[in-house]
A = this chain, B = another copy of it.
Amino acid sequence: MFYIIGLGLCDEKDITVRGLEAVKSSSRVYLEAYTSILMVQKERLEAFYGKELILADRDMVETESDEILRDADKEDISLLVVGDPFGATTHTDIILRARALGVPTRVVHNASIMNAVGACGLQLYNFGQTVSLVFFTETWKPDSFYDRIKDNADLGLHTLVLLDIKVKEQSEENLARGRKIYEPPRYMSIPQAVSQLLEIEEKRQTGTLAADTTLAIAVSRVGGGEGNERIVAGTLAELAAQTAETFGQPLHSLVIVGKRLHHLEVAYAETFAVSRDSWRGVAQSAYGCALDES
């Protein structure tokens, strides 16, 4: 059996009992390389499972799937992925390959940011399409995400914005010289994300986003529990003005609040607000939420 097992969002204990059993029964266990986006190191996972893990970067999962699937018709083989196997990065290619080889496959689901974002207090029902925001460079500022945020906003819907992660990047010099030396991983911060959003708004001028009247909620390390998970709500300007310490370690995601905002959503997220008064004030004035004066 070939297992693709979601690890959930935080640490070694977020695996399900079913997933853990599969790991323990497997003769080879691959860990998809974006371990840096889990909150624990490979070694800690290995100690917990009592198994050695084989690192498989995204390329390997795509191009060496036959090696990963070797003997999976006779033995149990597991591939561990952060979040859910059908989360932001899907694993349909290797599943199709397993099907073609006649290898039985089982997906072990888990939480991913696509559903755990509900922790910010906004109803998942009121989210539109999810978008990804990549690091801008001087010469490359892809902005199709903006159209999607606008589509959602026009319907009054919230937008989950996934922020870029750069791992295994090579400097131009190392790339040119063929040296497999990688830069330290980079994670987009909330202020940088807000800055990029407003840069495109400045260019497009549709009024979809506004520094002082668009509400947003930054979610960091969702599922990490008290003292680790951090949720911060405010206007785009308020979030942009925070220091890196406010949000803490990666990963961060950002939710742009849509106009269909419900007063119960306002109330729930209020405790996360940079400024309670500002949060409630903008919800009333710009979003038309009727709030009682408690």
Contact = CB atoms under 8 A, between A and B. Distances in A.
Interface in A124-142: 124-132
Nearest to A87: B115
Contacts of A267: 96
B13 A18 contact: yes
| 6 A-B pairs with least C-beta separation | A86-B118, A109-B111, A13-B18, A115-B115, A13-B17, A114-B115
Contact of A129 (B21, B88, B127): B127
A111 B115 contact: yes
B16 A107 contact: no
A283 to B, nearest CB: 16
Contacts of A106: 225-226
Interface residues of A, number: 59
Nearest to A222: B109
A15 B111 CA distance: 11
A134 to B, nearest CB: 14
A114 B123 CA distance: 12
Interface in A115-164: 115-119, 121, 123-132, 151, 155, 157
Interface string A201-223: 00000000000000000000011
Contacts of A222: 109
A124 B118 contact: no
A275 to B, nearest CB: 18
A104 B227 CA distance: 11
Given A13-B18, A84-B118, A129 B111 contact: no
A33 interface: no
Given A264-B92, A271-B99, A110 B110 contact: yes
A9 B6 CA distance: 13
13 contacts: A14-B109, A15-B16, A17-B20, A86-B117, A90-B118, A90-B124, A105-B226, A106-B225, A109-B222, A111-B115, A128-B128, A128-B129, A129-B155
Contacts of A191: none
A182 interface: no
B125 A129 contact: yes
Interface string A10-31: 0011111110110000000000
